[in-house]
Amino acid sequence: MSVKNQKILALRAALAAVEPHGVRVELGVPRLDAVLAGGLMRGALHEVFAAPSHEAAATGFVAGLTVRLGGPLLWIRQDYAGLECGALAATGLFEFGLDPARLLLLQVTDAAGALKAASDALTCAVLGAVVIEVMGSPKLLDLVTYRRLALAAGESGVTAILLRQATAPSGIGGVETRWLVRAAASQDEENWGQPVFDADLQRNRHGPAGHWVMKWSCDDGVFRPADRGAVVSAPCDRPFASPVAEASAA
């Protein structure tokens, strides 16, 4: 290994040591967790985009993430989202494996209210996660807002998840991970209807991007690799190799 590589590794280790809430939560798909350097990072901002008319799948994916994160959950929702994508159903959440008693629902009229509430809630360190469900692409969601949310999340250790409905993924930075989620067809012929997600990891600050098909186990509360096997794209959009690749090389 060259001196330069060693230096980079040392710097990475130093960075990892000062990372404030470097606790990661395993999602349950081994290769995905490896790409995420151990799992979904707590105390960070994650963004989940719903593919057009796949709002329910994105909702399920976010619900799955919050089950993994644990703790009380605040779900901030625009009124319009309730009409357009349907109201959150407690019975359905319970069937999914998310205890409705953990959930606090806040209905706001506009994105401004949602973001204000989010930055307040992110200071409440006992929360496990804050989900901010936003319709469309409000102007308010700019780089400054992203940075503010990410900072608030980092300070308290509460994970912020932006659930973006009815909009195309944008390239605003500041997020730890960005996903584009759509539903995938059930594979199990007998017992069909289990949640299966086709998740495109478009941005990953601590590793390469990729594309996964995974199912959610409602009983165990973990994601599982779908039977057809994970498809990991080559990290062509990044100049450096992922930590995983380096680890295996070393």
Question: H/E element holding 205?
Answer: none
> Looking at 56, 140, 172, 241, which residue binds other proteins (CB under 8 A)?
56
For residue 72 the two structure tokens come to: 């009380």
Cα torsion 197, 199, 205, 207 to 10°: value is 90
Tell me: does residue 210 bind other proteins (CB under 8 A).
no
Which lies closer to other proteins via its Cβ, residue 174 or residue 195? 195
Residues 6+ apart with CB under 8 A from 180: 49, 51, 169, 199, 200, 202
**Residue nearer to other proteins on the CB measure, 1 or 83:** 83
Counting contacts by CB under 8 A, is residue 227 touching other proteins? no
- Across 136-221, where does the E strand assignment appear? 159-165, 177-183, 196-204, 210-217
Stretch that binds other proteins, among 16-24, 86-94, 142-150, 241-249 (CB under 8 A): 86-94
Among 8, 9, 23, 106, binds other proteins (CB under 8 A): 106
55: its two tokens: 């709002």
Given candidates 38, 100, 138, 225, which one binds other proteins under the rule CB under 8 A?
Answer: 100
Closer residue to other proteins, CB minimum distance, 150 or 196: 196
Nearest to 12 by CA among 179, 248, 201, 246: 246
Q: Which of 22, 186, 230, 246 binds other proteins (CB under 8 A)?
A: 186
CA 157, distance to chain mean position in Å, is 15
Residues that bind other proteins (CB under 8 A): 53-57, 59-61, 63-64, 72, 74, 85-96, 99-101, 103-108, 113, 116-117, 120-121, 124-127, 182-186, 191-198, 216, 218-219
